[in-house]
Amino acid sequence: MLKAMDTETIDAKTTEYDPLNTQSAEEVLQWTFEKFGDRGALMSSFGLEDVVLIDMMAKINPKARVITLDTGRLNQETYDVMDKIRDKYGLHIEVMFPDSKKVQEMVRAKGMNLFYHSLENRKECCRVRKVDLLNRALGNLDAWITGLRRAQVVTRTETKKVEIDHDHGGMAKINPIADWAVNQVWDYVKANQVPFNVLHERGYPSIGCAPCTRAISTGEDLRAGRWWWELPEHKECGLHVQSP
Ligand code: SF4
């Protein structure tokens, strides 16, 4: 991973990255593969946005890397779509697991369902099962690709298509469909017959770990089903929080 950057480097990268904001998702992906090669990868949870990106990537660069973080608490439906994607695209999915010793220590000390008891416990679980794992995965990359969209949640309204990830040493964070609306995502999935997580048809716009995600009702915020017992401003697991 890159080290923290000086102002001159930040300015140069901003000048290089910002024009990509007006490019299509496919153009942004093409640029990413040309610039970063194997040092760039999609970090996928196999949500609707991620399967769109996998389909695009398979058409542009079939050898593009796809990494997934298996927290150990995912839904069966998530594993099902993972296998469907593997079969359809012949994809080698780089599955990563959290440090078993740390998970064991946490669960022995605080129980299997610690996340319901306090925000601090929830963040600890996310750190042990996801954030530490993400940092391990990013340690071997210069760019990570995500399915973030501005319309998903209040904390993502400023998301650019290519940005400097200050929380991860200044590496590039690529969000090719940052400007897409949810209906564009669905249209792409249907038009290209992309396998998707069936939970999306059961009221789950956003899917994370099984015990921390529920279906939402009509009119609710798209991320209302994630950590539904918490305030909206707390609804990030630490994977996509950008330092000011
Ligand atoms: Fe733990 Fe829930 Fe975070 Fe998954 S989403 S890592 S189960 S707190």
**What are the sequence ranges of the domains in the chain?**
7-201
The whole-number pLDDT of residue 243 equals 41
Rounded Cα gap, residues 53 and 88, in angstroms: 14
Higher pLDDT pick, 1 / 84? 84
Closest CA to 1 of 97, 137, 128: 137
Q: Topology of domain 7-201, per CATH?
A: Rossmann fold (3.40.50)
Measure 115 CA to ligand 1 centroid, in angstroms. Answer: 7
Question: Whole-prediction pTM value?
Answer: 0.91
pLDDT, residue 2, reads 47
For residue 100, pLDDT over 90 is answered with: yes
| Protein residue with its CA nearest to atom 4 in ligand 1 | 209
Pocket of ligand 1 (CB under 6 A): 71, 73, 115, 122, 125-126, 129-130, 208-209, 211-212, 237
* CA–CA distance, 165 with 47 (Å, rounded to integer): 22
Atom 2 (ligand 1): residue with closest C-alpha? 212
pLDDT in tens, 199-231: 999 999 889 999 999 999 888 887 788 888 887
Q: Which atom of ligand 1 is nearest to the CA of 73?
A: 7
Ligand 1 centroid from CA 210, angstroms: 8
Q: Which residue owns the Cα nearest ligand 1 atom 5?
A: 209
